[in-house]
């Protein structure tokens, strides 16, 4: 069955430090992978996505993610974190059957940024 695991429930980093959020997936075919961010009181905003091609994908707000098939991972990175990056981050895999493309989400990683 398809699933997504985000091992880190909560991470705290200092402003200006680098960030890596982990995501592992289980999917039988070629995965379509996404990272979404949810700021307090807000909806889910797409940061980036991987469908095919270059395994290093760039997203909005200076984020990037690298798809590693051998490790079934799609980790999110940012070289220098800003206070406004404090939010909850969700990794998701697209699971497709018939005419739909539902998303299966991980449990999320809550990021806190220290001044």
Partner 1 sequence: EPEVTQTPSHQVTQMGQEVILRCVPISNHLYFYWYRQILGQKVEFLVSFYNNEISEKSEIFDDQFSVERPDGSNFTLKIRSTKLEDSAMYFCASSPGTPVQETQYFGPGTRLLVL
Q: Given the rule CB under 8 A, which residues bind partner 1?
A: 32, 34, 36, 41-46, 49, 51, 90, 92, 94, 96-108
Between β-strands 10-14 and 109-114, what pairing exists: parallel, antiparallel or unpaired? parallel
CB of 14 to partner 1, least distance (A): 26
Q: Is the Cβ–Cβ distance between 7 and 107 less than 8 Å? A: no
Q: How many CB atoms lie within 10 A of CB 64?
A: 16
- Measured from the CB atom, the residue of 28 and 41 that comes closer to partner 1 is 41
The radius of gyration computed from the CA coordinates of the chain, to the nearest angstrom, equals 14
CB of 74 to partner 1, least distance (A): 15
- Measured from the CB atom, the residue of 29 and 115 that comes closer to partner 1 is 29
């Amino acid at each position: 069955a398809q699933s997504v695991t985000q091992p880190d429930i909560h991470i705290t980093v200092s402003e200006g430090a680098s960030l890596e959020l982990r995501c592992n997936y289980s999917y039988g075919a070629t995965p379509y992978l996404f990272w979404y961010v949810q700021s307090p009181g807000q909806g889910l905003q797409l940061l980036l996505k991987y469908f095919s091609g270059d395994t290093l994908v760039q997203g909005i707000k200076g984020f990037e993610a690298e798809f590693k098939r051998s490790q079934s991972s799609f980790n999110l990175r940012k070289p220098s974190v800003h206070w406004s990056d404090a939010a909850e981050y969700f990794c998701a895999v697209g699971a497709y059957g018939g005419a739909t493309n539902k998303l299966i989400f991980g449990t999320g990683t809550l990021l806190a940024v220290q001044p």
